[in-house]
Amino acid sequence: KKIGVQNIIATTAVGSLNLDMKPGDFVIIDQFLDFTKNRVTTFYEGGERGVAHLDVTEPYCPSLREKLRLSAQKSGIAVHTKGVYVCTEGPRFETPAEINMFAKLGGDLVGMTNVPEVTLAKEAEMCYATVSMVTNFAAGISPQPLTHHEVLETMAANAENIKKLIMECIDIMDTDTDCTCQHALAEYGGFKL
């Protein structure tokens, strides 16, 4: 934010809880469930400006998500245009019981990053969108034990496509476009540290 960044395209490697979202698939996520425990989740924890109650009805920038969708279409890359990301603390993988619970709560994907980054970006009045790469089915869904190697292998196989998707999106971005994300804290006088 301090150096003028307005848009962030994040990537995540995720396990899938949704059988329609298979290893190798890309998902432009639109919602999240936060199961983190020890992360700083705001720039405003009281003090001079008090707290900021951030609206996260649309946590991921709808405008940037649409640009990613159009970029995927133009590049011939298949994507799922919606998905609920479950963020866990990590660094361990989740248990089958946790995966079962997350699925019952409506989760599609599980990973260990992306939250609170998305809400911190929104507090900073920056556009933020995430492309998740499914690297495996989650514990209890996958027929074999999860391995870090499996994650790295799938990421390597899809590296060119994710680069292609992001570069296409950057090409169609207009940095002069106004977006609701850039006014997320208007009620509080805008983002200030």
| pLDDT tens digits for range 51-96 | 889 999 999 999 999 999 999 999 999 999 999 999 999 999 899 9
Residue 148 inside a domain? The answer is: yes
Q: How far apart are CA 17 and CA 110, in angstroms?
A: 7
The separation between CA 19 and the C-alpha centre of its own chain, rounded to angstroms, equals: 19
As a whole number of angstroms, the distance between CA 107 and CA 105 comes to: 6
pLDDT of 143 over the 80 cut:
no
- pLDDT-derived band at 158 (thresholds 50, 70, 90) equals confident
Residue 193 lies in a domain: no
Q: What is the 3-state secondary structure (H, E, C) of 1-66?
A: CCCCCCEEEEEEEEEECCCCCCCCCEEECCEEEEECCCCCCCCCECHHHCECCCCCCCCCCHHHHH
Q: Is the peptide bond before 116 cis (omega within 30 degrees of 0)?
A: yes
pLDDT tens column, 105-141: 999 999 999 999 999 999 999 999 999 999 989 988 8
Q: Is residue 91 part of a domain?
A: yes
What's the pLDDT band for 142 if we cut at 50, 70, 90? Answer: confident
pLDDT in tens, 171-183: 999 878 889 999 9
Residue 189 lies in a domain: no
Its domain, for residue 172, covers: 7-184
Q: What pTM does this model have?
A: 0.92
34 part of a folded domain: yes
Among left, alpha and beta (phi > 0; psi -120 to 50; other), residue 133 is beta
| Neighbour-count burial of 25, counting CB atoms closer than 10 A to its CB (0-12 exposed, 13-18 middle, 19+ buried) | buried
User: Residue 180: which CATH number?
Assistant: 3.40.50.1580
Q: What is the tally of structural domains in the chain?
A: 1
